[in-house]
Amino acid sequence: MTAPVDVKPPTPGLNEGERDYVNRVAEHYRDTDNMAWEHGFLIGWLMICDPVEQSAGELCKALGVRRESVDHIDALLVPPGVLTRKELPGGEYALAMSLDVWPKTVQHSMLAVPSFHSVMEHGLQVLEGEPEERRRRLLNMERFFRYLGEELPAVFDRYEASAPLK
């Protein structure tokens, strides 16, 4: 998903501390997801920008990113609710990071691991009698997600015991 022009944006509207933070977020996503620089900078900036809500034009100006990068982040993070989008006059829109949704999204995806594991189990039944080479992908995943499915929900039980998610 690396954009055609994939370089760190100049961030003309940020101070030194903000730039350092946003750069670290982008470096993290670069490493874990090979995310395009402009996308990572946008996610980082939406965590700390002031005001919380920013128009697409303001985001482009503060970070020096292309409009299509803002549109990409809009398409990526508005559907799961991590960002909320507000329509503005003239086809413009504004984005804001929604406080509670990110933790809930993380929790939801971890709590969904047991159900993903049961899908893998079902797949092994479907491939019963098939050659080992065909089954091996699922065998690996079934074992891995069986373990995670037992462990990850407990991680959230302990988190909620310490601080209930809103």
Partner 1 sequence: MSESTVQPDAIDRIEQTDQPPPTPGLTEGERGFVHKVAQHYRNTDNMAWNYGYVFGYLMICTPVQQRASQIVEALGVTREDVDRVSQLLVTPGVFERRDEPGSDDFLMWLPDGNWPKAVRYSLVNMPRFHEVLKRGLEVLADAPAERRERIATLEHLYRHLAVEIPAVFDRFETATAK
Interacting residues toward partner 1 by CB under 8 A:
1-2, 17-18, 20-21, 24-25, 28-29, 31-35, 47-48, 50, 52, 75-80, 82, 97, 99-100, 102-103, 105-106, 108-110, 112-113, 115-116, 119, 122-123, 126-127, 130-131, 133-134, 136-138, 140-141, 143-145, 147-148, 151-152, 155, 158-159, 162-163
57/80 with CB nearer partner 1: 80
Minimum Å gap between C-beta 152 and partner 1 is 7
CA distances from 24 to 17, 37, 77 (A): 11, 11, 19
Minimum Å gap between C-beta 33 and partner 1 is 5
Minimum Å gap between C-beta 20 and partner 1 is 7
* Distance, CA of 45 to CA of 43 (rounded, Å): 6
Residue 24 CB-density burial (10 A; 0-12 exposed, 13-18 middle, 19+ buried): exposed
CA 51 to chain centre: 22
Which distant-in-sequence residues (6+ apart) come within 8 Å of 49 by Cβ?
62
DSSP state of 13: T
Minimum Å gap between C-beta 40 and partner 1 is 11
29/64 with CB nearer partner 1: 29
